[in-house]
């Protein structure tokens, strides 16, 4: 009996030590998973049935509430695909198309110097700890490889390549609200856009959401109406909220005022950064996903029209077009792209509940050129994690250009 007790005690002791070694260093991650158990199960039934791109086309065809797709053929317009093309969706980093247009315009008109040298301190002012941190770390590592300074053009290129929210905010503030508004208005007027909203700084959006979940935070300015911001944490009818124009305009103006306040008050930014480091947004995964409805909106069709305008419209200066495509051309040169494309340009986004991309490429096999926008929005959390971990959306979007079999499978499901 004594030996048995010693054995059991030793076994339990070793188990406790192993458990502690696994849990303690990763306590934050375990806590996050534990508090999001419901979200991590949401959509698990789709995971089990979606392990190939053919399976994914089944999901797309059966779940129009979650997916918009435009695949625009420049050579054979009749073979273009449009699926939920005019449904409002979260724009996210695809709004960088507008920032890129404003930036390349400013460069072409010599209002901004793309070769201006920058240091790390200048671009990290609006860092968002625990919010797309891996993307930012990757961008910074690439920018500072074997050097301590880099050009503005390099910053913009890495912004696109890594989907870096911090670099996007740096560009937003570098250009200024007036310049971005002007580029946005020009596109709205030129293309008759009805849904695409003005891109807003990520730090202003995420800190507003942090306040909505933690209204006692001392550093929140008075530019928000607490009642309207608290709507984000309820269970809104997303389709209705997206159509409440006056509510959205008031909200966007409040965010812009907040963005200006953050720019002039570094202490507030530091307070938020400390809060994010300890708590992230202090929201469940599902609440964070639902809050994306308060981000700027667009449609797949309007984004496709914007990119098509940049590429094909004769009124766009060739210098601007070339520069813009160069900034989106980060995939070119990789073995994956060279095996299937003559050329390929892209911007992707991935954040809780959202996977999207805009791209333009020419198939190596058929020579056909396509402009595409695909937006998976308000995804169930477990399914989002599955797709994100496997980069399924990016793989699907690329293959839809060069793989005729996947194109036909998709067409049959829509």
pLDDT exceeds cutoff 90 at 53: yes
3-class SS of residue 236:
coil
Q: Of 130-144, 231-245, 270-284, where does the model show the most confidence?
A: 130-144
What number is the average pLDDT over the span 173-179?
97
What number is the average pLDDT over the span 284-290?
90
Cα angle value 343/111/103 (rounded, 5°) = 35
3-state class percentages of the chain: helix first, strand second, coil last, to nearest 5: 60, 10, 25
Q: Give the C-alpha distances (Å, rounded to integers) separating 63 from 43, 344, 348.
A: 12, 28, 21
Q: Cα torsion at 55, 61, 63, 64 (round to 10°)?
A: 140
Q: Give the C-alpha distances (Å, rounded to integers) separating 113 from 96, 110, 116, 152, 184.
A: 19, 7, 5, 8, 21
For the segment 182-194, what is each residue's pLDDT rounded down to a tens digit?
A: 999 999 999 999 9
Q: Give the C-alpha distances (Å, rounded to integers) separating 412 from 54, 60, 62, 101, 301.
A: 11, 11, 12, 35, 20
What is the spatial distance between Cα 10 and Cα 92, in angstroms, rounded to a whole number? 53
What number is the average pLDDT over the span 304-325?
97
pLDDT exceeds cutoff 80 at 58: yes
With beta carbons less than 8 A apart as the criterion, state whether 252 and 293 touch.
no
HEC assignment per residue over 237-265: CHHHHHCCHHHHHHHHHHHHHHHHHHHHC
Lowest-pLDDT range, 94-103, 147-156, 219-228? 219-228
How large is the greatest C-alpha to C-alpha distance in the chain, in angstroms?
Answer: 90
pLDDT given at position 76: 94
What is the spatial distance between Cα 181 and Cα 179, in angstroms, rounded to a whole number? 5
pLDDT given at position 239: 52
From the CB of residue 199, how many other CB atoms can be counted at a distance below 10 Å?
Answer: 26
| Residue 127: its H or E element | none
Q: What are the structure tokens assigned to 148, written together?
A: 């301590």
How far, in whole angstroms, is CA 80 from its chain's centroid? 25
Q: Strands 81-83, 67-73: parallel, antiparallel or unpaired by DSSP? A: antiparallel
With beta carbons less than 8 A apart as the criterion, state whether 297 and 91 touch.
yes
Beta pairing partners, 279: none
> What secondary structure does DSSP assign to 364-409, as a single string?
TTT--EEEEEEEE-S--HHHHHHHHHTTHHHHHHHHHHH-HHHHHH
pLDDT exceeds cutoff 70 at 308: yes
For the segment 320-348, what is each residue's pLDDT rounded down to a tens digit?
A: 999 999 999 999 999 999 999 999 999 99
pLDDT higher for 74 or 131? 74
pLDDT exceeds cutoff 60 at 27: no
Q: Give the C-alpha distances (Å, rounded to integers) separating 306 from 100, 159, 192.
A: 11, 19, 10
What number is the average pLDDT over the span 281-300?
91
Enumerate residues 6+ apart whose C-beta is below 8 A from 128: 136, 165, 166, 202, 203, 206, 273, 276
With beta carbons less than 8 A apart as the criterion, state whether 336 and 121 touch.
no
For the segment 219-250, what is each residue's pLDDT rounded down to a tens digit?
A: 554 455 555 555 444 444 555 666 676 778 88
| Residue 380: its H or E element | none
With beta carbons less than 8 A apart as the criterion, state whether 360 and 345 touch.
yes
pLDDT higher for 275 or 352? 352
Q: What are the structure tokens assigned to 17, written together?
A: 């030590």
> What secondary structure does DSSP assign to 13-52, as a single string?
HHHHHHHHHHHGGGHHHHHHHHHTHHHHHTTHHHHTT-SS
Burial class of residue 272, CB neighbours in 10 A (0-12, 13-18, 19+): buried
Domain edges within the chain: 2-35, 47-91+299-413, 112-295
pLDDT given at position 233: 47
Ramachandran class of 379: left when φ > 0, alpha when ψ lies in -120 to 50, beta otherwise: beta
Q: Which of 75, 27, 116 is nearest to 362 (CA)?
A: 75
As a whole number, the mean pLDDT across the chain is 86
With beta carbons less than 8 A apart as the criterion, state whether 75 and 369 touch.
yes
């Amino acid at each position: 009996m004594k030996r048995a007790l010693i054995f059991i005690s030793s076994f339990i002791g070793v188990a406790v030590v192993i458990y502690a070694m696994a849990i303690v260093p990763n306590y934050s991650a375990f806590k996050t998973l534990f508090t999001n158990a419901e979200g991590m199960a949401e959509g698990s039934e789709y995971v089990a049935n979606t392990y190939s791109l053919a399976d994914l086309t089944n999901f797309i065809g059966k779940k129009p509430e979650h997916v918009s797709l435009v695949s625009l053929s420049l050579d054979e317009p009749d073979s273009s695909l449009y699926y939920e093309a005019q449904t409002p969706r979260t724009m996210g980093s695809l709004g960088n198309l507008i920032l890129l247009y404003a930036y390349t315009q400013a460069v072409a008109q010599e209002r901004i110097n793309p070769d201006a040298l920058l240091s790390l301190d200048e671009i990290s002012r609006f860092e968002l700890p625990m919010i797309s941190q891996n993307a930012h770390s990757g961008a910074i590592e690439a920018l500072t490889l074997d050097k301590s300074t880099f050009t503005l053009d390099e910053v913009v290129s890495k912004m696109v390549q890594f989907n870096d929210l911090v670099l996007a905010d740096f560009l937003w503030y570098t250009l200024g609200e007036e310049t971005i508004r002007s580029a946005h208005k020009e596109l709205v007027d030129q293309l008759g856009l009805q849904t695409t909203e003005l891109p807003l700084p990520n730090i202003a959006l995420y800190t507003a959401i942090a306040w909505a979940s933690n209204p006692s935070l001392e550093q929140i300015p008075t530019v928000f109406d607490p009642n309207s911001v608290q709507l984000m944490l309820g269970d809104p009818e997303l389709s209705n909220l997206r159509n409440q124009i006056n509510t959205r305009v008031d909200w966007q103006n409040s965010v812009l005022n907040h963005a200006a306040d953050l720019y002039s008050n570094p202490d507030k930014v530091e307070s938020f950064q400390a809060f994010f480091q300890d708590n992230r947004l202090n929201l469940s995964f599902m609440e964070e996903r639902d809050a994306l409805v308060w981000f700027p909106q667009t449609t797949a069709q309007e984004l496709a029209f914007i990119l098509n305008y940049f590429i094909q419209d004769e009124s766009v200066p060739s210098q601007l077009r070339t520069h813009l495509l160069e900034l989106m051309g980060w995939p070119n040169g990789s073995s994956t792209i060279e095996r299937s494309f003559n050329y390929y340009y892209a911007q992707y986004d991935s954040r809780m509940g959202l996977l999207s991309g805009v791209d333009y490429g020419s198939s190596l096999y058929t020579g056909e050129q396509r402009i595409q926008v695909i937006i998976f929005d308000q995804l169930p959390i477990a399914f989002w994690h599955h797709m994100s971990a496997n980069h399924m959306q990016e793989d699907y979007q690329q293959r839809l250009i060069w793989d005729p079999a996947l194109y036909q499978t998709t067409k049959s499901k829509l």
